Structure 1
Amino acid sequence: MRWHTISVTILCLLQCKSNGELTRLRREGDTRVVQLSLQRSKVQDPVARDRQRIRRRSGTMQAELDNLRTLYFFNASLGNPPQELRLHLDTGSSDLWVNTAGSSLCKSSTEACDVSGTYTANLSSTYEYINSHFNISYVDGSSAQGDYATDSFRFGDIGIDDFQFGIGYKSSSQQGILGIGYPENEVQVARSGERPYENLPTRLLADKHIGTNAYSIWLDDINSTTGSLLFGGVDSSQYRGNLVTVPVQKVGSSYREFFITMTGLDAGSKSIANDMALAVLLDTGSSLTYLPNDLATSVYQAVNATWFERSQLAIIPCDKALSDDTITFHFSKPASISVQLRELVLPVVSANGRSPKLNDGRKACLFGIFPSGKGARVLGDTFLRSAYVVYDIANNEVSLAQSNFDAKPSGSNVVEIGAGKNQLPDATVAPTPVAAKSGLPVSGGAATSLPLRWNYLGLTFILMLISSASKGFEAIYVI
């Protein structure tokens, strides 16, 4: 798979010094905010990446995120001396793991692992081996295998010693992953039945960097190059109205992932579905949104999108990005999030720089909602950009509000989340929460698995299918 290169920009926000060094802002009660400088670089297409990444699985601190249109990263380091990394943020998993420079994947080409960076144990004086139980399998048969180890982990000016992570000595994923989900979803728990270790959110609480095990994420709109992650706090300038709190749904007898109940779906003023009780997964690690086949088909009909069965792609005219239409997702009342159609229209370009066209001559774009088949229903980045989401692991709750795309750093209003129940500022608890009746994985089974066939079909057929003027096969990339 080739890579589409995106221009590089460096941003420095608020208290960043001229040399890019980070500073920590201290507030009353020693509330802390860590702000990171940003850069934008190259990214693979989101469809292929989603198909590869989704696994089969038996005070306040702020980190700024890179919006690569399809992936969200932030900068960190492992080891002494520090080995720099750009980690893909993932609420749908719970382990930090990184590639090693000596793996067959990273040695396969000079740029294979350049985006995220690599870690070499022998170059760090503080590396400690734990075991060789790290093993993540993927639905397409690929995997990441290697060791669990500990080392010094740093982002911003936060340093964590003896932090546990996985090293991928055998891997087919080019991105280092920072999973910040439930500890019960860690690889060593799901695969080996071992006790959870302290992953990043849990360790930040244990080290008293934050007051409760909760964090909020704001991805901003589709054209933004940045977003933010706040451990232990919320920024009320980044959402509109009040947050609405709904319960996380159990997988079997335990809380493992951020499944919440979706109750309805509208396209504009038309109701597509209501009285639902469908479990959907909030997952920053998925670039796209995956709905039940019948719902996806109804959405396509409402917005003039087309599903191409052969290539397994949803295509929409690019001029739909100019529409004011919305898709509204409903949850336990009064929670709902409206997604403007422009947030779901993803430009594509061929390897030679051409934009594919539909038969009527209009430019073709990728549509950000796909059918889930038999896999989990996932609300990925094409949904999450329109939502401000608080992930409250301590209380097994999620709070949502409509994203404020007009938020500016100068208007930031960071508030710490207190420990205990009902401590979230400006939040309304859904009075009659709906329990999910479908969509949850079988306990101990795959939580997030897309249909197997999706993992073998890439974007190579799209030009042939939708443009009669095109000849042969070309790779298409989202930009």
Structure 2
Amino acid sequence: MKNIANFATSSLLVSVASAQVVQWDIQRRGGPAPRLSRRADGSVEEVITNEKTRGGYFATCSVGTPAQDLTLQLDTGSSDIWVPANSASVCESSLEGEGCTLGSYDYASSSTSEVINQEFKISYVDGSYSQGDYISETFGIGNVKLENMTMGLGLDTDIAYGLVGVGYALNEASVSQTRELYNNLPIVMRDEGHIATNAYSLWLNDLDASKGNILFGGIDTDKYMGDLIRVSIQQDSQTENFTSFQVQLTSLEAHSSSGDDALSSSSFPIPVVLDSGTTFSYLPQDLAEEVWREVGAEYTIVANDGSGVPLISCDLADSKGYFSFGFGGDGGPVIKVGMDELVIPSGTLNGQAVCQFGIQNFSGDPFLLGDTFLRSAYVVYDLENNEIGLAPTDFNATTSKIVAFPSQGAQIPSSTPAPSQDAANSGPSSAPNYSASKGFKDLSSSGSSGSGGSGSSGGSDGPDSAGSLAPALDFTQLIVMGASLGLMMFGSGMFLLF
């Protein structure tokens, strides 16, 4: 799960929408204050809450008849709605700050509830889980009621809130349990005419922003800059099915006042999943180490098994340096991610405030680009055409121009395809290995990442190669570190274990 870091809370307010779109707006504040509404033109708006204490984006929805309000985590990386039952032991805690403070569901109090089967079961990499029944129930988004919505009921769970997964149906938990699919939330919204096609766009805005949104069934052309460019979603290599929002990262460059570095990796093109349910971003070991050297991040051991995290001076959040993430080769979308989005306050270590660096290492694909990347991008998830649209975000945009998808299967409005992505996705990146003498090192007080090791950062004054390499993290190590220090937040969808 992703609820292991100590962050400030926030919430969301309503903005504008147009016909056949559903928009969930994000606004930072001290705590949730949901307001729901439906516009006269037939579009639907709903408040969601950016709950940094739990890690993720939350929506206040209604379940059952009469309606019971629950605040559920919205996740592009998973595909089921599930809610905690009020009888679950995790919801019965009387301790302050514990229990299901975001709401729980009373099955017996609803006149529209119906048990489908007892096969709901889902677990996560940190050992948390939820299991119980699949039910059919009324599910409310604003004033729109979706009848007979299939969802999981967590009768036995150690997670104090539920989730709203909006990924591919093939990623539903039921696939591993019963080999059966059902129509999940985006499909039902499409089939009932609330949106024209199974697609939505994501605008998280910057780390300290007051406002952002997730828009189902359309795009907002005032929320990004430049061109919206489409890249293909990659099929699962084993099943050849579309199960996650995996695209190919074909280049990564570092830019600072002292020059530019094109970073290299034996893994290019790199399969990465764009997942709003993951707070940090995770790249291959060799590439992560190059990134750390550029910024002077220091890999610090924080657990007895040798696990660690890259820590960085919190002052570097004010740096003007940035990284450029390229997709689809020449002419493909390029997203610039500034240091202010990558230096993440993460609590205390040995009595001192610490910041984690937002790009971390991982042991195997698929790799993940989470919120530390996604805040800098305007992302359109098109599940009908299996494409992702990307453009640089327009931070703190104050105007809105929503364009709805005109029909089922229509391509992303105002977008063009990456012209050379087929060639770029088929083999190693051909990005030139140009470099400056320092890259980001002028931004570091120490001038050395401390992680050591050899590498091809391009600079002649890199860290001492006699040091020991930072070990690649695996799921077990992530769990240990999260339990030890409370510094980490993880995505839900890509870490499902059935």
Residues 1:130 and 2:128 are matched in the alignment:
no
Query: Which of 200, 210, 218 pairs up with 2:185?
Result: 200
Tell me how far apart the structure 1 counterparts of residues 318 and 201 of structure 2 sit (CA, whole Å): 30
Residues 1:213 and 2:198 are matched in the alignment:
yes
Give 1:267's aligned residue. Answer: 254
Residues 1:451 and 2:475 are matched in the alignment:
yes
Deviation at 1:291, TM superposition (A): 0.7
Q: Contact 1:35–1:156 (CA<8 Å) still a contact in 2?
A: no
Q: Contact 1:65–1:73 (CA<8 Å) still a contact in 2?
A: yes
Give 1:68's aligned residue. Answer: 51
Give 1:143's aligned residue. Answer: 129
Deviation at 1:115, TM superposition (A): 4.3
CA gap 1:35/1:364 in 2 versus in 1, 3 angstroms: closer
Give 2:327's aligned residue. Answer: 331
Q: Contact 2:10–2:27 (CA<8 Å) still a contact in 1?
A: no
Query: Which of 127, 139, 142 pairs up with 1:156?
Result: 142
Tell me how far apart the structure 2 counterparts of residues 97 and 141 of structure 1 sit (CA, whole Å): 17
Query: Which of 286, 292, 308 pairs up with 1:294?
Result: 286
Q: Contact 1:308–1:314 (CA<8 Å) still a contact in 2?
A: yes
Give 2:402's aligned residue. Answer: 414
Tell me how far apart the structure 2 counterparts of residues 301 and 398 of structure 1 sit (CA, whole Å): 31
Q: Contact 1:417–1:425 (CA<8 Å) still a contact in 2?
A: yes
What SS does the corresponding residue of 2:225 show, helix, strand or coil? strand
What SS does the corresponding residue of 2:222 show, helix, strand or coil? helix
Say what the alpha-carbon RMSD is for the aligned residues: 2.8
Tell me how far apart the structure 1 counterparts of residues 31 and 346 of structure 2 sit (CA, whole Å): 14
Tell me how far apart the structure 1 counterparts of residues 381 and 419 of structure 2 sit (CA, whole Å): 19
What SS does the corresponding residue of 2:103 show, helix, strand or coil? coil
Q: Contact 2:113–2:137 (CA<8 Å) still a contact in 1?
A: yes
Give 2:215's aligned residue. Answer: 230
Q: Contact 1:146–1:170 (CA<8 Å) still a contact in 2?
A: yes
Q: Contact 2:9–2:28 (CA<8 Å) still a contact in 1?
A: no
Query: Which of 357, 379, 393 pairs up with 1:367?
Result: 357
Tell me how far apart the structure 1 counterparts of residues 371 and 44 of structure 2 sit (CA, whole Å): 22
Deviation at 1:242, TM superposition (A): 1.1
Residues 1:341 and 2:339 are matched in the alignment:
yes
> Scaled by the length of structure 1, what TM-score is found?
0.80
CA gap 1:450/1:145 in 2 versus in 1, 3 angstroms: farther
Tell me how far apart the structure 2 counterparts of residues 65 and 436 of structure 1 sit (CA, whole Å): 39
CA gap 1:335/1:199 in 2 versus in 1, 3 angstroms: same
Tell me how far apart the structure 1 counterparts of residues 27 and 147 of structure 2 sit (CA, whole Å): 24
Number of aligned residue pairs: 416
Tell me how far apart the structure 2 counterparts of residues 309 and 235 of structure 1 sit (CA, whole Å): 43
Tell me how far apart the structure 1 counterparts of residues 198 and 4 of structure 2 sit (CA, whole Å): 39
Deviation at 1:192, TM superposition (A): 2.3
Deviation at 1:418, TM superposition (A): 2.4
Deviation at 1:382, TM superposition (A): 0.6
Deviates further, 277-286 or 66-75: 66-75
Alignment of 1:349-428 (within 5 A): 349-350=347-348, 357=352, 364-374=354-364, 376-408=366-398, 411-419=399-407, 423-428=411-416
**Which string of whole-angstrom CA distances, capped at 9 and with x for unpartnered residues, describes residues 407-435 of structure 1?**
11xx1100011236663222110122243
Q: Contact 2:281–2:368 (CA<8 Å) still a contact in 1?
A: yes
Tell me how far apart the structure 1 counterparts of residues 132 and 264 of structure 2 sit (CA, whole Å): 45
Residues 1:256 and 2:240 are matched in the alignment:
no
**Which string of whole-angstrom CA distances, capped at 9 and with x for unpartnered residues, describes residues 255-313 of structure 1?**
11100011111121211127921110111111111111111111111011111234422
Give 1:245's aligned residue. Answer: 230
Deviation at 1:165, TM superposition (A): 0.4
Structure 2: which 5+ runs fail to align? 33-41, 429-472, 490-498
Structure 1: which 5+ runs fail to align? 16-24, 44-58, 358-362, 439-448, 462-474
Tell me how far apart the structure 2 counterparts of residues 293 and 42 of structure 1 sit (CA, whole Å): 37
Deviation at 1:174, TM superposition (A): 2.5
Give 1:321's aligned residue. Answer: 317
CA gap 1:213/1:35 in 2 versus in 1, 3 angstroms: closer
Deviation at 1:141, TM superposition (A): 3.7
Aligned AA (2:188): R
Tell me how far apart the structure 2 counterparts of residues 156 and 431 of structure 1 sit (CA, whole Å): 40
Q: Contact 1:135–1:187 (CA<8 Å) still a contact in 2?
A: yes
What SS does the corresponding residue of 1:412 show, helix, strand or coil? coil
Deviates further, 132-141 or 72-81: 132-141
Deviation at 1:176, TM superposition (A): 1.2
What SS does the corresponding residue of 1:338 show, helix, strand or coil? strand
Tell me how far apart the structure 2 counterparts of residues 190 and 7 of structure 1 sit (CA, whole Å): 35
Identity across matched positions, percent: 35
Q: Contact 1:279–1:437 (CA<8 Å) still a contact in 2?
A: no
Tell me how far apart the structure 1 counterparts of residues 144 and 233 of structure 2 sit (CA, whole Å): 29
Tell me how far apart the structure 2 counterparts of residues 185 and 313 of structure 1 sit (CA, whole Å): 29
Deviation at 1:74, TM superposition (A): 1.5
Aligned AA (2:197): T
Query: Which of 400, 418, 421 pairs up with 1:430?
Result: 418
Q: Contact 1:63–1:228 (CA<8 Å) still a contact in 2?
A: no
Deviation at 1:175, TM superposition (A): 2.9
Aligned AA (2:335): I
Tell me how far apart the structure 1 counterparts of residues 310 and 103 of structure 2 sit (CA, whole Å): 32
Give 2:169's aligned residue. Answer: 183
CA gap 1:276/1:285 in 2 versus in 1, 3 angstroms: same
What SS does the corresponding residue of 1:148 show, helix, strand or coil? strand
Tell me how far apart the structure 1 counterparts of residues 411 and 286 of structure 2 sit (CA, whole Å): 39
CA gap 1:262/1:2 in 2 versus in 1, 3 angstroms: closer
**Which string of whole-angstrom CA distances, capped at 9 and with x for unpartnered residues, describes residues 39-71 of structure 1?**
75679xxxxxxxxxxxxxxx8655443223431
Aligned AA (1:430): A
Aligned AA (2:340): R
Deviation at 1:37, TM superposition (A): 8.5
**Which string of whole-angstrom CA distances, capped at 9 and with x for unpartnered residues, describes residues 301-339 of structure 1?**
101111123442221101100101101111103211110
CA gap 1:341/1:278 in 2 versus in 1, 3 angstroms: same
Deviation at 1:374, TM superposition (A): 3.2
> Scaled by the length of structure 2, what TM-score is found?
0.77
Aligned AA (1:331): F
Deviates further, 79-88 or 316-325: 79-88
**Which string of whole-angstrom CA distances, capped at 9 and with x for unpartnered residues, describes residues 331-357 of structure 1?**
10321111001101111334xxx9954
CA gap 1:460/1:190 in 2 versus in 1, 3 angstroms: closer
Query: Which of 296, 305, 315 pairs up with 2:297?
Result: 305
CA gap 1:378/1:208 in 2 versus in 1, 3 angstroms: same
Give 1:467's aligned residue. Answer: none
Q: Contact 1:261–1:436 (CA<8 Å) still a contact in 2?
A: no
